Structure 1
Amino acid sequence: MSAPTHYATHANIAVITMDSPPVNGLGHALRRSLLDDFERALADDGIAAIVIASAGKLFCGGADISEFGGDSALREPNLPQVLNRLEESPKPVVAAVNGMALGGGMELALVCDYRFAGAAARFGLPEVNLGILPGAGGTQRLPRLAGVPLALEMITSGRPISVDKAQQAGLVDRRHNDTGEFLDAAITYAAELVDSGASVHSCATLSVDTTDLPDNFFADFRRSIARRTRGLYAPERCIQAVEAACTLPLAEGLQREGELFIECMNTPQARAQQHLFFAERAATKVPGVDPKTPVRNIEKVAVIGSGTMGGGIAMNFLNAGIPVTVLDLNAEALERGAEVIRNNYAITAKKGKLTEAQVEQRMELLTTTTEYASIAGVDLVIEAVFENMDIKKKVFTTLDEVCKPGAILATNTSTLDVDEIAAVTKRPQDVIGLHFFSPANVMRLLEIVRGKATADDVIVTSIKMAQAIKKIPVVVGVCFGFVGNRMLEPYSREASRLLLEGATPAQVDRVLYDFGLAMGIFSMGDLAGIDVSFLVREGIRDQIAHDPGYQKISDKLYALGRYGQKTGRGFYIYEGRERQEDPEVVTLAEEIAAELGIERREISDQEILERTIYMLINEGAQILDEGIAYRSSDCDIVYCNGYGFPIGRGGPMQYADEIGLDTVLAAIEKYRQQLGAYGEMWFKPAPLLQRLVKEGKQFKQYTVKS
């Protein structure tokens, strides 16, 4: 194994080059080697300055994730020790930041006396996304070097900043002019510093400038981020750490940062967020499929359908610079769809997130057609037409006839049988489900539905394609609703039933919102459209006929033409964006309950939470048992990125692991007994849940075999 750092000298400049692929993770070996080389440079009287550089495209990606949860992360020299020693250097130290400097990598750059940066450099402290805070001085040194407002925003959001913004803030001392080799230029800069007698810098000698901060700055900042940080523990501790930097000398501030770091590490939120971090990476590993399988080229894409979903799907590829042809047999609808895409980009441009030139670049990649012959040469076609099996079969029969051999034929169905769709083609190996979530140009999740005949290279290509358009891919199996919508079914069913038993839409939604969900189930239903869920139920009437009360209140609202926000009334009444409770819905629930002989009563918040969330978990367990999801964390990725499940809970399956599977099972069995015939009908514990409780195991310990 090669050394994680390389030491070289250029006249009186020592260069320590980190070379620990893929991201120069600051594991114990790299920390030790970096410190040894640093001490070597200090001991050499012929060395006047030190440059810390990278052999890769990134400067440093921060902590070594393989050390998470183990003893190696704290093994001496730990990162704070290394950085504190670097800051004490009597010789100038230059960070040659050629690419991303994230987390501990940015903290490494902060302790250097000077920062030389290339055009690709970006600086970020993403620890808050792992439920923790920067624990190697980031919360103390960044406010001293760049000011409190920028430090707070970076640390609490985790979003990196560009080299331009870093230079404006004073974090970058010199930019590479893009002529000559980057490292050579960094060495030349270090030599200039020596020749000019440049001094060493230490944050220990700096105080945080608070003279321009309003009196209520921190209180106002807390309010400004309250909505996006709801339910999370780390953001508040990040703020407290920066507040400490404003009042304490560096040594005491570092001590306070360390205390807050430990507080964060020992929370369910940190466990949940770190679980999701690893889950996202695990989701790309498909049992039985070699990740090194050669992929198919995706250079031209077609989307069938110019509605909201089709347009949103098209925008993902346009954003990635991939030409898209949108096909719709209705010329007027096609024209409207193209205009919606342009308007969406115009809105983004008005917000300053795109230039007019970038809008035009994207629109130039878009073509429209009403002729299937026009898409004969595309590499990938995604069908996004009405959720009806007969219509989709007709589309795929035509695609089979016109598309070139090797083209991937994908359906955006959210519930229908991908194998049945594939069966109408002569190339089922090329058919796959690509279930985008609405709005498709915004939502990060992509359920990749693997049919029984789907070829391995189609699966791997779909995963790579998803990453190219900045989606989070999760490969799932074929069943009604796949993972996301199938798990949604019992969750939604119980919420609807609770209305008949005595709860109100507002109470149910409040409980779910307070739990951490982005919105309650009835608010979500009104947003998505009550008509949409009704039409989905039309396809499974035979499966729900044994329950006369199944989603009956939703069916009644559909019959009344109350489809939700689009019609101004659904479970709630809407006036513009304002929502208010509707007493008619309660009356309707009372009438249905009387008709079905359901006794109404006061429903506790705890019962609402258990009957909705625990049945969601139970369905996830059944999906795992059937092999529809390969691992419980896949279900968590789907729910946190597609359904607004709180990331501070880590997803439904992680939440179950956190509170104990025995707790979930006991509640399900309780309601099975308490709810009489209804309980017997629906509250059936998943066999996998029962087995894992008996074995004393968690969901995360169960993986579907290939």
Structure 2
Amino acid sequence: MSDKIAYERHGDIAVLRIQNPPVNALSQAVRAGLQDGMSRAEAEEGVRAVLIVGEGRAFIAGADITEFGKPPQEPYLPDLCNRIEASPLLVVASMHGVSLGGGLEVALGAHYRIAQPNARVGLPEVHLGLIPGAGGTQRLPRLTGAEAAIEVITSGRHVMAPEALELGIIDRIEEGDPQTVGLAYAQELLDSGATRRPISEMPGTAPIDWDAAYEAAFRKGRGQISPAQAVRAVQASAEEPFKVGMKTERQMFVDLMETDQRQGMIHAFFSERAVSNLPELKGVTPRDLHEIGVIGGGTMGAGIATAALLSGLKVVLIEMKDEAAKAAHERIAGNLQGAVKRGKISQDKYEALTTEALKVSTEYASLSDVDLVIEAVFEDMDVKKQVFAQLDAVCKPGCVLASNTSYLDVNEIAASTSRPGDVIGLHFFSPAHVMKLLEIVVADATAPEVVATGFALGKMLGKVSVRAGVCDGFIGNRILATYRTAADHMVLDGASPYQIDKALTDFGFAMGPFAVADLAGLDIGWATRKRKAADRHPDERVPTYIDRLCEQGHFGQKTGQGYYIYEKGKRGGVPNPEITRLIEAEQKERGITPRDFTDREIVRRYMCAMVNEAAKLLGEGIARRPLDIDMVLLFGYGFPRYWGGPMKWADLQGLESVLRDIESYATEDAWFWQPAPLLKTLVAEGRNFDDLNKEAA
């Protein structure tokens, strides 16, 4: 029997204790050990029940990620779950920590389930582009009903024990040592004459409007296949005998394993874990972080302060005037009150954070003891330098000085201080207490321990932290500027902003580029175009129609009019006819005859522009690995997770075909569509972006 399973006998009850630290992942050794343990218990005289329990932090956290991508080995998980359920003995699962994916499916194979009050269960396979493949879609609906099962499976969320009890997933909640509690429950069941209760023998779930549920799942997933397929698998639990339903589920699982979406989501899964694992930081100790400063209490500064407070840091926030300081405090308090409403913190915690952990001041001297300070002021180099001059004067030696700039040169900011080694860029995304991306911008003189401190802060705040070098826009905004330019060119040539937005949301983006521009504020792009005008290459095509709208005082959602017109109380907007008029006027002025674009061509040009610019960033060393770029786009720019990111998308398309399209577009506009040297090299050598990720690992 496997050393991953400890076998014990307690009277009439055999205990199978899983011991595969840290989280009892379902490795082949664990599966084999459970199977052998069941056989041993059934063979021993006097055993009437089996208790399955996990040692350490969890019951079973799910599959063993080290086995991902490898050929499956027996015993297969569906067979193990069926084997447990078919036992003539009474089988009890005692659950604590997390029971996720295959872990919950093993528990559903048992006849009874007891859990600790803080236990969590779930079937998160959709996050890997899959559906549960070991009976989860067949057993869960028989306990919860179809609608609840569909919600749990398609969301992939963790269900806390009280809700799991209410849904019928578990039978009892009891606090205590999981093995002690489980043994007592199993003995109680035996003493009461309880019989086996296989879920497979329960009636199938009652039918619902399956087509409507399928469409809703597909729409909510923005084109992701697996949630919608999960609905069809649950439908099988209502319409087919259990054994047939299991075959249906398994075939769907196997089919999804072969999809590009599954490859993309597996890539995203591993990249998210690898992105902050930088070789340059091995052995580098970050500086201590207990209290941080934030300069500026607007939306961004207040969001950064909120995130820091929620992570356990003390915060000193600086504003210029008393009225602004009061408004900043109210803004942060409002953010924290939202956390109270969502159950993330208690009212007592809220009071402590707003009265003790947070200090709002108008004096820079209040920052004398902070360990790190982040400026979040107006995006102007002169303003930034003034702030850093004051920080240089008041902050203690060793304090990390960080800028939240979105575009500006962090080297220039660092050079304006007497301690450039302490300066770093920490580019948060708004709202900073919600958005997970943090670009950590490393300047030429930034000390290694300062870089490590930036990543330590990101970890404390629960961010996906990505290393970036210094250039205009760093990784995300530089790529954004390029693919947005591709969209602008298509508008000049005949595609409407609204067709482009729809084509890209159909592709899977959360929003199209023109809706995003309205949300961010059209004045931002307007200011950027004016800033870059003096150095613009004569061959660069820059539309002016949107500047005419900005000159009229229309900046998108905040003014009620942009590419779309927004009415108070209504979600979203409707196309603005003035935009169409302005585009037609510019086309006439430039002598452009508009042409039609297919949705496929729109997506292809947009994506090729993104990949080409990303490859240039890699070649320049601004981004170290393709996966860094993928994580930036996934967590900061609404890129569909099931494609894995733009670099993974390019690998899935084939880099040769991507380069071929870029070269064909270059015949129309040689300036914009200059192929990235790195992309040409990879194609010539028969390699792809994932090869670069592996080389950097």
Same fold (TM over 0.5): yes
Q: Which moved more, 1:590-599 or 1:380-389?
A: 590-599
Match of 1:583 in 2: 577
Match of 2:55 in 1: 55
Match of 1:694 in 2: 684
Indicate how the Cα distance of structure 1 residues 551 and 305 shifts in structure 2: closer, same or farther if over 3 A, else same.
farther
Q: Distance in 2 between matches of 1:184 and 1:456?
A: 49
1:15 Cα deviation (Å)? 2.2
Alignment of structure 1 residues 233-252 onto 2, 5 Å:
233-252=225-244
Q: Distance in 1 between matches of 2:344 and 2:219?
A: 22
1:518 Cα deviation (Å)? 1.4
Q: Say yes or no: does 1:632 pair with 2:626.
A: yes
Choose from 357, 366, 370 the match for 1:374. 366
Q: Deviations 1:512-546 (Å, cap 9, x if unpaired)?
A: 22222111111111110111122234443344242
Q: Deviations 1:363-416 (Å, cap 9, x if unpaired)?
A: 343321111122222222221111111211221222222223333222111111
Indicate how the Cα distance of structure 1 residues 500 and 247 shifts in structure 2: closer, same or farther if over 3 A, else same.
closer
In the alignment, is the contact (CA less than 8 A) between 2:91 and 2:110 conserved in 1?
yes
Choose from 326, 339, 342 the match for 2:330. 339
Match of 2:291 in 1: 300
Q: Say yes or no: does 1:664 pair with 2:658.
A: yes
Q: Distance in 1 between matches of 2:583 and 2:471?
A: 31
Match of 1:423 in 2: 415
Q: Deviations 1:246-305 (Å, cap 9, x if unpaired)?
A: 122221211111011112112111111111111111112113221x54333322222111
Match of 2:245 in 1: 253
In the alignment, is the contact (CA less than 8 A) between 2:292 and 2:373 conserved in 1?
yes
3-state SS, counterpart of residue 74 of structure 2: coil
Indicate how the Cα distance of structure 1 residues 169 and 599 shifts in structure 2: closer, same or farther if over 3 A, else same.
closer
Choose from 201, 204, 224 the match for 2:200. 204
In the alignment, is the contact (CA less than 8 A) between 1:450 and 1:475 conserved in 2?
yes
Q: Say yes or no: does 1:264 pair with 2:262.
A: no
Match of 1:140 in 2: 138
TM-score by length of 2: 0.94
In the alignment, is the contact (CA less than 8 A) between 1:148 and 1:208 conserved in 2?
no
3-state SS, counterpart of residue 30 of structure 1: helix
Q: Which moved more, 1:132-141 or 1:654-663?
A: 654-663
Match of 1:67 in 2: 67
Letter in 2 for 1:154: V
Q: Deviations 1:475-532 (Å, cap 9, x if unpaired)?
A: 2222211110111111111222222222222122222222221111111111101111
Match of 1:118 in 2: 116
Choose from 301, 304, 319 the match for 1:313. 304
1:474 Cα deviation (Å)? 1.6
1:635 Cα deviation (Å)? 1.1
Match of 1:497 in 2: 489
3-state SS, counterpart of residue 681 of structure 1: coil
Q: Deviations 1:409-447 (Å, cap 9, x if unpaired)?
A: 221111112222222333333322221112222222111
| Structure 1 unpaired stretches of 5+ | none
Q: Distance in 2 between matches of 1:489 and 1:256?
A: 46
Letter in 2 for 1:190: A
Indicate how the Cα distance of structure 1 residues 124 and 685 shifts in structure 2: closer, same or farther if over 3 A, else same.
same
3-state SS, counterpart of residue 546 of structure 1: coil
Counting matched residue pairs gives: 692
Match of 1:435 in 2: 427
Q: Which moved more, 1:258-267 or 1:47-56?
A: 47-56
In the alignment, is the contact (CA less than 8 A) between 1:286 and 1:630 conserved in 2?
no
In the alignment, is the contact (CA less than 8 A) between 2:214 and 2:232 conserved in 1?
no
TM-score by length of 1: 0.93
In the alignment, is the contact (CA less than 8 A) between 2:630 and 2:644 conserved in 1?
yes
Match of 1:160 in 2: 158
Choose from 395, 400, 403 the match for 1:403. 395
3-state SS, counterpart of residue 220 of structure 2: coil
Alignment of structure 1 residues 100-115 onto 2, 5 Å:
100-115=98-113
Letter in 2 for 1:555: D
Letter in 1 for 2:132: P
Q: Distance in 2 between matches of 1:322 and 1:288?
A: 26
Q: Distance in 2 between matches of 1:141 and 1:705?
A: 43
Alignment of structure 1 residues 73-88 onto 2, 5 Å:
74-88=72-86
Q: Distance in 1 between matches of 2:19 and 2:54?
A: 6
Match of 1:553 in 2: 545
Choose from 178, 181, 188 the match for 1:185. 181
Letter in 1 for 2:181: A
Choose from 365, 380, 387 the match for 1:388. 380
Q: Deviations 1:20-60 (Å, cap 9, x if unpaired)?
A: 22322212122112222232222221433222222221221
Choose from 305, 317, 338 the match for 1:326. 317
In the alignment, is the contact (CA less than 8 A) between 2:305 and 2:315 conserved in 1?
yes
| Structure 2 unpaired stretches of 5+ | none
Q: Which moved more, 1:151-160 or 1:695-704?
A: 695-704
Q: Which moved more, 1:591-600 or 1:641-650?
A: 591-600
1:347 Cα deviation (Å)? 5.3
Choose from 458, 472, 482 the match for 1:466. 458
Q: Distance in 1 between matches of 2:251 and 2:548?
A: 56
Alignment of structure 1 residues 222-241 onto 2, 5 Å:
222=214, 224-241=216-233
Q: Distance in 2 between matches of 1:186 and 1:574?
A: 58
Choose from 349, 354, 360 the match for 1:363. 354
Letter in 2 for 1:116: I
Q: Distance in 2 between matches of 1:209 and 1:510?
A: 37
1:223 Cα deviation (Å)? 5.0
Q: Deviations 1:66-108 (Å, cap 9, x if unpaired)?
A: 111211xx21111111111111122222222120111011111
Q: Distance in 2 between matches of 1:108 and 1:283?
A: 32
Q: Distance in 2 between matches of 1:386 and 1:338?
A: 19
Q: Distance in 1 between matches of 2:638 and 2:261?
A: 16
Indicate how the Cα distance of structure 1 residues 78 and 592 shifts in structure 2: closer, same or farther if over 3 A, else same.
same
Q: Which moved more, 1:635-644 or 1:400-409?
A: 400-409
Q: Distance in 1 between matches of 2:374 and 2:235?
A: 51
Q: Which moved more, 1:445-454 or 1:240-249?
A: 445-454
1:595 Cα deviation (Å)? 4.0
3-state SS, counterpart of residue 702 of structure 1: helix
1:209 Cα deviation (Å)? 4.5
3-state SS, counterpart of residue 164 of structure 1: helix
Match of 1:684 in 2: 674
Q: Deviations 1:540-559 (Å, cap 9, x if unpaired)?
A: 33442424642433333333
Root mean square deviation of aligned Cα: 2.3
Q: Distance in 1 between matches of 2:31 and 2:560?
A: 60
Q: Which moved more, 1:416-425 or 1:575-584?
A: 575-584
1:686 Cα deviation (Å)? 0.3
